[in-house]
Structure 1
Amino acid sequence: MPDRSPIPVHAVSRPGLLKLLDAGVRSPLTVVIAPAGSGKTVLLSQWVQSRPDLAFVWFEVSDIDRDTVRFARRFASALSHAHPGIASLLPAPEATGGLGEAYLDAVVGALSDVDGEVVIVVDDVQRLRNPALVDDLWKLADLLPPNAHLVLSSRVDTGMRLTQHRLRHSLVEIRQRDLRFDDDDAARLLGLLSGGEVPARTAALVREHTDGWAAGVQLAGLTLRSRPDDDLLASIAESDRLIVDYLGEEVLDAQPPQLREALLRLSVPDELHPDLVPLLAGDGLAPDLLRELERESMFLTARPERPGWFAFHPLFRNLMRLRLRVEHPGLEETLLVRLAEWSRERDDSVTAVQALLRARQWEDALRLVLATGREAFEVGYSATLVRWLSAVPAEVRRADPQAEVLYGIALGISGHAREAVELLRIVADRTDLDDGIRTIARGYLAAGVQFVPAAETLLADGVMALAALDADPGMTLPDIMQLTQREPLYALTLASVARAELFLGRLAQAEERLDRMLASPGALYAPYRIHALGSRAMVDALSGRLAAATARADEALQLAAETGLREHQSTGDPHLALALVAARRGAPESGALSLREGVLRATGNARHQLLWLAVLAERLSAPSGATEVEEPPTPAPPVVQVELDAVRLRAARQSGQPEPAHETPEGWSSVAFEEVAARLARGDVTAAGRRLRDALHSDPSPTLIGQVEQELALGWFQAASGDRAASERHLVRALSLAEPEQLLGPFLAAGRPVAALIESLPGAPNAFRRHVVRTAGLVGHGGADELPEPLTRRELAILAYLPTRLSNAEIAARAYVSLNTVKTHIARIYRKLDVQSRSAAVDRAADLGLLEPLGTGDAL
């Protein structure tokens, strides 16, 4: 991609504005905001040419950049001019509209590695029409390293947060008033365009009635080529601010009839290739017509990112389209169909679909989407599919059930789960459709269980879909973009049913279904396998089988690394499973990076129910401390709500507060443990014994965590009842169950009273028993208080690796995060510790008592 947009031959130098841009480099951000045709792009291109000492990245926003994934990939390609390897370092953006924290961190980390100053010019920001992307550009400006500078050029300032940069950084703003031509500027431009000297009064008159607007002055110059007389000047003087439209028509009317007709026809595509000229405008035109039009300043410019392609200025193009519709009704639709056919022959389905949609050829557009659209899912363009399908009238789309199902799938993947569930529900309940399409709708309905709080209902949909597939092995399943073949559909539905069981707290059923799914042929598809392994690891973590959870999560993340899916949303489950393992072991710092990565993946497409598991992992680690994970805007699933209720009960018990209102689930649970503990803490041994007997009677075979909790509750109760021997047996049993998994959570929940009982057990304590006694009081780090800005848990997790011989890349691989994430955290650690090197950071952290020991496998 060129480092700037081409400079027109008639461009007028603006030295005062160039000095303003030079001054702006000293701050993180410069904005150029003015209407279309004000000369923003020309000015910035001249500035780029005037500063060979700076490394420039030029990014021109196009309409396709409304799709977050397309924007992210094109932006990465542009940044490669400053950092050749950056495209491989950047993670996938969030599917809900924004780039996300991980992407921005990776950009900042890569720019920090660039030698010298880098200036990123983002032109035509207003074309994004995506508030989340605009907001991310502002976040990027706030995060940029000292050697980087951002320039945003836009027609409007909607969504731009200017006040903060005005106050903190002496923001340079170039507005319409600054870009407005004065009489001398207008005279120079008119002279260049008309081919001769222009009288001062003519230049002043043009400047006055165009208000110094660059495009208006340019249009006047083109008009003066054919009508340099006083009559024209008189007509201009009598006109109002619609002069732009008037002059546009004058430019068209001044052209030879054949060229004028060709211009109208060539206005149909958004971008033009020379091969389209005979197809749209007919034969007999110059073979290099587009180059000639560019040289003649007919508002046609080359596309920097697409060699050989051109585009009219939007104002001129829109004017010609209006004239085409008036003079040749229906011709635009005919030409759009030709454009679609031409594009389809060249495997450009994106342009073809958009042309058919503009032509209102709804059925043809739907057929093309259904036939060629799988690539949109494979490369993350689900938002584009949503935009296409929403452009089709609802009654036309509903008449094609396959298109309607595809619309529901695309809505779900792009983060609009509630709308997706409502739409797929209608399809699933239609009795006039074949079983195949209804089964597909139910299978994808079940997949919504991570997004919306309807686990029971979606579980029933998934069970119905599985039953239908089992009952009719020969069922005809429509092939919707190759997403609905039998084996992957069965695997997707089975895993979705298992996740519904998980969210409902039925861990044994979830385990059985996930094991079946992982053994099925459909599980060979890497994203499905990664996702299912992560869910299976989550079941293990919730149950207390922490070693198995770690092994399965590591297997999933290793597969993601091997298949190039490290940033894929399917990795959210294994990351959150590792975070929950760390919380269960009482070592939240070791899971901080996994928690962050899991939250990023789940937030990326608004999987709110999965995000509740991230909330749980953090609350278990910090029941009453500062938290970073926001609670999703949906009710918590039952499996999470029970544990969160237990966390609230525990906080009330440990602070001597009354027991808060809560529900008591049937059987043994962490809530039952807290209810027993609260009665024991109050000294009401009789009530504690009664509650303990009821809970034990109703659930004789709980999870491993439940077994440990039961033994601890019995040990505490027996000690309070005066039976020390029985108490010791139960406490020893609890330790023996928990030690193989290093399961510390139940002991931390019990707190100091049980820790004291364990400390008084007879016999020499082993390492795990000493660890329980030492940490059950929730001891924190005192040294961190000495820092003006404490290290976050994520930074502490990276800090623990710094005393080792591991490189940054090796740390990233072991933590299953990107290299740029590691670099970003190390830079922040150095800043907070006020050091300049790795060895100095280690020494300073040791002095503050901040270094956490790694496992034996990591301490290399």
Structure 2
Amino acid sequence: MSERRESPLITAKQVVPPVRPGAVQRARLHAPLLDGAGTRLAVVVAPAGWGKTTLLSQWAHDPAEDRGVVWVSLDEADDEPVRFWTYVLATLRREVGGLTDAPLGGLLSPGLDPVDLALPTLLNELSALRTRHVLVLDDYHLLTHPGIHESMEFLLGYLPDALRVVIAGRWDPPLPLARLRARDQLTELRAADLGFTVQESAALLSAVTDRAVDERTAGVLRERTEGWAAGLQLAALRIRNTTGADGAGPDAGPDRHVLDYLRAEVIDRLPADQRDLLVRTAPLERLCGPLCDEVLGRTGSAAVLDRFDRADLFVTPVDPQRQWYRCHALFRDALHHVLDTDHPGEAARVLSRAADWFLAREYVAEAVELRIRAGDQEGAGRVLRSTVPHFLERGALAVHLHLGALLPPATVRADPRLAVSLAWSAGLSGRFTAMGPWLDLAEPRIDEHSPALEGWCTLRGAATAVRAYELGVVQGDLAAALTRAATAVELEPDPDRIGYVVARTVLAAMLVFADRCAEAVPVAEDAWGSARAQALPPLLGLQAASILSSALSETGQVAPLRRLFAEVGPVIAAASQRWGGAVSGLARLRTVEGRLAHADGDHAAARALLRPAVELARTFSLVPTLVTALAALAEVELDDGDRPAARAALREAREAVDDGAVLPVVARALRTVERRAGRAPVAPAGGSPVVLVEELTDRERAVLRALTGTATMREIGASLYLSINTVKGYAKVLYRKLGVATRQDAVRQARALGLL
């Protein structure tokens, strides 16, 4: 995989926080985490201020923990599946020996959800490891996206012994805790467990005040605060700043007057420069010296942050180098309250300056998020509309779309360039049904004076090309799609722009879909030639090359086809390096290449190309390519005399055709092979009794029951409150366990096993 430039925030979020010198060791709470090594999941759940992160950091550094600890600190910006799993998989890859780049590459491949390829690949690699690790997800309560919880449930359902998961948050994660608890696969630590004992309270008070605090005083404070770590810390600071040690402190637990107390007893007592730094940077989730200097227009912030850390003032480092810090959640709330009261409007200015700091370092997602939080919706939109290539290069188109969805519809409607860029991003990432709504916002506001998108001659050309693809792929209106695509080609005449390639690729694709392949050849050749000359990102190049390969194959132009495969080799290599070969255009290319090898009489080479093509088409849900690849594979098997294998491929192809709309040219090709095979794609008769080797999970059984009906995968997902990609993920595992490849065979096999 090509080297990726990492944000400093990524590095800070991927390390176990250091243990503060003098922190109270709580071995009694380490024990469940150590002894719970056999459970798949441990949850540490309590409100703010109960010491969850401190406990887990101490446990992670405990010599008694012989497993490797992999840590990811989460924040609000991670509430999107691709971004969340990018952090997790990148951290696992760095910390766990034996893992490859393949899971991360599969995740970043445009058009795939985590459960399509990344998580199954990760689980396979983990199963081969002999080492053991624990993945800690801190502040999981900040995540609300259903796709994250669905994919996490999927991971936990198939987790091998090499990995266990610890989740820390303020409330229970929306995961099947009851099921895990019933199966003795859950370890739980809650507020009642995290409360400090009298002895622990005395140790904490003595450490913070730097004076001996007896157990009587500690007992009074412990009772007053109910063992709440943050309350004890506040009491200790009060003692340290007064001459008496009578237990004066917050007069209640965590729910009363805490913000006022923090302001009066901590914030207002700080020196002016220190107070100014903390109060004015309160909107920022993590702090470092250069960032604070930039947003405050000052110098020396790194030294001030270091002093806060050493003084136990609710500011803690998040990396061993102590370059990045975070404020305790309650303390940050108090700082934010002071900022809003004393400096109205300053929060937005700080967020905007921080956005500029990140954007100058090419951390686009962070910059956009900060501008949105600052209320600068237009500024966020300006960045988004010009950065499709940035997100495309990094395999983060889902993040681009997620950020666009955070903007109010009025903001997008007012900027047709932004709406078109989001529609284009949706098409590139395989989210075809999202293209239309974005285009509907843009098209009424586009005229000949509209400024063009970066890389395009005209905005109308970009919108027309994207609409043509949406009409052909989503609506199935090839006549309208061809008309729009031809118009887009006329509007994009500059061969040195991305728009030239995209418009011609779309037109060529529509011509192939309409079975007008001879007309498609020169258009696709033009697109491919321009893509090569511009050295465009592999995804765009492979799309052009794959359409050209289909057109050449269907028109029998073997010599140009061989030249194409020689030319496209470096692009395929680049895609394989970046995404492990998991890119949609490659499925079509491998299918055509396999058919060419078959025509040359090399059945082994044809099979070696067609089987990966089938798997890629399954992964990306590319029904026309899947049917074409399966039909080609069936022909190879027929020529080798393996009629059962051929019929198995044809059964899957026929099921795919019956389950959804397929282009007439594809259906016709399938019928041709079916006639040759005797048009009897049925299950092999006889054979040994079927045996279920691996038990089905509850989710798999629910999916299996749903497969017996006529509902589509999308409808099954809706009935089970799962996304279609998560349903597909469970179905893939279900098929593997049953030893089948199709839905019909899964139902038949399940009935034979008495599962239905």
TM-score > 0.5 by shorter chain = yes
The Cα of 1:236 is off from its aligned counterpart by 0.5
Which residue in the other structure is 1:466 paired with?
489
Residue 608 of structure 2 is aligned to residue 594 of structure 1: no
Match of 1:452 among 474, 485, 488: 474
The Cα of 1:289 is off from its aligned counterpart by 0.7
The amino acid that maps onto 2:33 is L
Q: How does 1:220-619 map to 2 (within 5 A)?
A: 220-227=235-242, 233=248, 236-237=251-252, 241-249=255-263, 250-281=265-296, 288-304=303-319, 308-370=323-385, 374-430=389-445, 432-434=447-449, 436-448=458-470, 452-456=474-478, 457-469=480-492, 473=493, 487-504=497-514, 506=516, 509-510=519-520, 513-520=523-530, 525=536, 526-537=538-549, 559-563=571-575, 564-565=577-578, 566-574=581-589, 591-600=610-619, 602-603=620-621
Task: From the superposition, tell whether residues 635 and 105 of structure 1 become closer, same or farther in structure 2 (CA, over 3 Å).
Answer: closer
Distance (whole Å) between structure 2 residues aligned to residue 306 and residue 412 of structure 1: 42
Which residue in the other structure is 1:636 paired with?
661
Which residue in the other structure is 2:178 paired with?
163
Task: From the superposition, tell whether residues 121 and 226 of structure 1 become closer, same or farther in structure 2 (CA, over 3 Å).
Answer: same
The Cα of 1:294 is off from its aligned counterpart by 0.9
The Cα of 1:556 is off from its aligned counterpart by 5.8
The Cα of 1:299 is off from its aligned counterpart by 1.8
**Per-residue displacement from partner, 1:224-273 (whole Å, max 9, x unpaired)?**
33357699848615x78224334322322333444323321132322222
Residue 684 of structure 2 is aligned to residue 780 of structure 1: yes
The amino acid that maps onto 2:90 is S
Task: From the superposition, tell whether residues 786 and 203 of structure 1 become closer, same or farther in structure 2 (CA, over 3 Å).
Answer: same
Task: From the superposition, tell whether residues 204 and 545 of structure 1 become closer, same or farther in structure 2 (CA, over 3 Å).
Answer: farther
Match of 1:24, SS state, is helix
Contact 2:591 2:609 in 1 (8 A): no
Q: Which runs of 5+ in 2 are unaligned?
A: 1-10, 451-457, 636-645, 695-731, 740-756
Task: From the superposition, tell whether residues 300 and 579 of structure 1 become closer, same or farther in structure 2 (CA, over 3 Å).
Answer: farther
Distance (whole Å) between structure 1 residues aligned to residue 364 and residue 202 of structure 2: 46
- Identity rate, percent: 24
Contact 2:110 2:428 in 1 (8 A): yes
**Per-residue displacement from partner, 1:317-364 (whole Å, max 9, x unpaired)?**
232122211111122223333334444444444444433333333444
Contact 1:504 1:637 in 2 (8 A): no
The Cα of 1:75 is off from its aligned counterpart by 2.6
Q: Which runs of 5+ in 1 are unaligned?
A: 475-484, 644-669, 671-702, 710-743, 752-776, 791-824, 833-860
Residue 81 of structure 2 is aligned to residue 58 of structure 1: no
Which residue in the other structure is 1:694 paired with?
none
Task: From the superposition, tell whether residues 281 and 631 of structure 1 become closer, same or farther in structure 2 (CA, over 3 Å).
Answer: same
Match of 1:153, SS state, is strand
Task: From the superposition, tell whether residues 254 and 784 of structure 1 become closer, same or farther in structure 2 (CA, over 3 Å).
Answer: farther
Distance (whole Å) between structure 2 residues aligned to residue 450 and residue 608 of structure 1: 14
Q: How does 1:835-854 map to 2 (within 5 A)?
A: none
Which residue in the other structure is 1:76 paired with?
89
Larger radius of gyration: 1
Which residue in the other structure is 2:754 paired with?
none
Which residue in the other structure is 1:844 paired with?
none
The amino acid that maps onto 1:462 is A
Task: From the superposition, tell whether residues 360 and 148 of structure 1 become closer, same or farther in structure 2 (CA, over 3 Å).
Answer: closer
The amino acid that maps onto 2:267 is L
**Per-residue displacement from partner, 1:18-53 (whole Å, max 9, x unpaired)?**
121122112333232333332222222222222353
Q: How does 1:735-754 map to 2 (within 5 A)?
A: 744-750=673-679
Match of 1:452, SS state, is helix
Deviates more, 1:138-147 or 1:504-513: 504-513
Contact 1:91 1:106 in 2 (8 A): no
The Cα of 1:300 is off from its aligned counterpart by 1.4
Task: From the superposition, tell whether residues 750 and 324 of structure 1 become closer, same or farther in structure 2 (CA, over 3 Å).
Answer: closer
Task: From the superposition, tell whether residues 590 and 264 of structure 1 become closer, same or farther in structure 2 (CA, over 3 Å).
Answer: closer
What TM-score, normalized by structure 2, do the two folds share?
0.73
Contact 1:92 1:567 in 2 (8 A): yes
Match of 2:39 among 18, 21, 27: 27
What TM-score, normalized by structure 1, do the two folds share?
0.65
The amino acid that maps onto 2:148 is L
Distance (whole Å) between structure 2 residues aligned to residue 114 and residue 235 of structure 1: 50
Match of 1:35, SS state, is coil
Distance (whole Å) between structure 2 residues aligned to residue 60 and residue 750 of structure 1: 56
Distance (whole Å) between structure 1 residues aligned to residue 474 and residue 160 of structure 2: 39
The Cα of 1:748 is off from its aligned counterpart by 1.6
**Per-residue displacement from partner, 1:154-202 (whole Å, max 9, x unpaired)?**
3333331223333334422222332233333333323322333445565
The Cα of 1:830 is off from its aligned counterpart by 13
Match of 1:288, SS state, is helix
Distance (whole Å) between structure 1 residues aligned to residue 201 and residue 655 of structure 2: 55
Contact 2:49 2:229 in 1 (8 A): yes
Root mean square deviation, CA, Å: 4.6
Residue 57 of structure 2 is aligned to residue 45 of structure 1: yes
The Cα of 1:442 is off from its aligned counterpart by 0.7
The amino acid that maps onto 1:747 is R
**Per-residue displacement from partner, 1:815-837 (whole Å, max 9, x unpaired)?**
xxxxxxxxxx9xx99999xxxxx
The Cα of 1:577 is off from its aligned counterpart by 6.1
The Cα of 1:630 is off from its aligned counterpart by 9.2
The amino acid that maps onto 2:100 is I
Which residue in the other structure is 2:729 paired with?
none
Contact 1:83 1:111 in 2 (8 A): no
Which residue in the other structure is 2:726 paired with?
none
The amino acid that maps onto 1:639 is P
The amino acid that maps onto 1:446 is A
Match of 2:275, SS state, is helix
Distance (whole Å) between structure 2 residues aligned to residue 537 and residue 161 of structure 1: 47
Residue 197 of structure 2 is aligned to residue 182 of structure 1: yes
Match of 1:92, SS state, is helix
Distance (whole Å) between structure 2 residues aligned to residue 264 and residue 463 of structure 1: 58
Which residue in the other structure is 1:720 paired with?
none
Contact 2:71 2:136 in 1 (8 A): yes
Distance (whole Å) between structure 1 residues aligned to residue 165 and residue 317 of structure 2: 24
RCO (CA 8 Å, sep 6+): is it higher in 1 or 2? 2
Which residue in the other structure is 2:23 paired with?
11
The amino acid that maps onto 1:746 is R
**Per-residue displacement from partner, 1:791-840 (whole Å, max 9, x unpaired)?**
xxxxxxxxxxxxxxxxxxxxxxxxxxxxxxxxxx9xx99999xxxxxxxx
Distance (whole Å) between structure 1 residues aligned to residue 561 and residue 141 of structure 2: 47
Distance (whole Å) between structure 2 residues aligned to residue 19 and residue 130 of structure 1: 32
